[in-house]
Amino acid sequence: MTSIVDADLTAPEPWQRLEATRRYAPAGAQATIAALKQDVVRWAHTFSENQVADPISGLPDWLQPAVKDWGLHLSLYGAANAWLIFVGPSPGGSPTSDPDVDRLLGSSHRRNPTLGWPHPSFWYPDRPGFGATIRRWATSAMTGVAPQATEGESLTCTLMVNLTQDQFANASDVNLDNSSTAAAYFWASVVPVARPRLVIALTRPIYRQLSAALHAEQIRNLPSVDVVMAKRWVQLQSSVTVLGTRCPLLLTTVPMHPSRRSFLGSDLGPLYRYLGETARKARDLT
């Protein structure tokens, strides 16, 4: 397996990675992202399947072999050198009302990793708002280590991974019987290339799957953290430091899945602060 050879691409600070990836951003990337922010539906109708380049084609030759099979084993989109990785149980069951948008942004080769620019699928307009929530959470985490970070910069350093494929369902109903193999693949093939500093499991079962795929000597348990949500609802979040991955990383949980609509209108300030504090802990790992 080919690994990233430019040390700056996997630096401990996410903004060192951002600077190192700028030279790999394809021409027109900023215009594409600006169009997505304005209106993802209009953008999808403007560009045909052949006009929008497969993200993997923009990666340097020495990196392509290391990531070309990621999409065969996992449902994913985002940065090949992600500082932050979200891991979920399912690609979701939230199509838009426009089949052309689903076809363009939901097709498998559109989910190959990018380098130097945010992946278009971060703006996928799903009805429960999963994409919008992930964008907000990524920005909240990244601004914990760089207060002036923009949303686009945050997403340039972020990867979204799902351990199950072709299983469109509520996250709490997903059958995880086959995800242990995917969790092992994640640690063996994705982590050594991306070298993340922070991995956030979006559900407790996924956190347990990821932890179970590690050897006991690779894990250093950390004190759990209380996150006080709206209406005095408290969630105890578990975290471990993962060793033996060429650089240490923090594996942690969050109080709620991004698609839980019942909490989208609540005061999520404590959750955003928790994400920023967790990112600082990950950056400072030695």
Q: Using one digit for the tens of pLDDT, what is the confidence trace for 199-254? A: 999 988 888 889 988 887 788 877 777 776 665 555 666 677 887 666 788 999 88
Helix (H) and strand (E) counts in the chain? 12, 9
Alpha-carbon distance of 182 to 283, in angstroms, equals 26
Q: Is the sign of the CA dihedral 87, 91, 95, 99 positive or negative?
A: positive
CB 210 within 8 A of CB 242: no
Asked if the structure places residue 75 within a domain, the reply is yes
pLDDT of amino acid 244: 67
- pLDDT recorded at residue 175: 60
Whole-number pLDDT of residue 51:
47
What is the SS3 assignment for 189?
A: helix
Between 112-116, 124-128, 148-152, the lowest mean confidence (pLDDT) is in 124-128
**Tokens at 179, concatenated:** 């995800």
Answer whether residue 193 shows pLDDT above 70.
Answer: yes
pTM: 0.87
148 vs 232: CA distance, rounded Å: 31
Q: What pLDDT was estimated at residue 2?
A: 40
User: Is it the case that residue 109 has pLDDT exceeding 60?
Assistant: no
Average pLDDT over residues 266-285: 87
pLDDT band (50, 70, 90) for residue 171: low
Question: Is residue 220, in this structure, part of any structural domain at all?
Answer: yes
DSSP state of 238: P
Counting Cβ atoms within 10 Å, is residue 265 exposed (0-12), middle (13-18) or buried (19+)? exposed
What's the mean pLDDT in 41-66?
69
Residue 217 lies in a domain: yes
178 close to 164: Cβ distance less than 8 angstroms: yes
What pLDDT, on the 0 to 100 scale, is given for residue 35?
Answer: 78
CATH code of residue 231: 3.40.470.10
Distance CA 168, CA 171 (A): 9
Q: How many C-beta atoms surround the C-beta of residue 21 within 10 A?
A: 21
User: Mean pLDDT lowest for which of 33-42, 66-75, 157-166, 275-284?
Assistant: 33-42
Residue 153 in any domain: the answer is yes
The runs of H, that is alpha helices, within 147-203 are 151-156, 179-185, 191-194
2 within domain boundaries: no
Number of domains in the chain: 1
Residue 1, domain member (yes or no)? no
Structural domain range at position 36:
7-283
The two tokens of residue 94 are: 């939230």
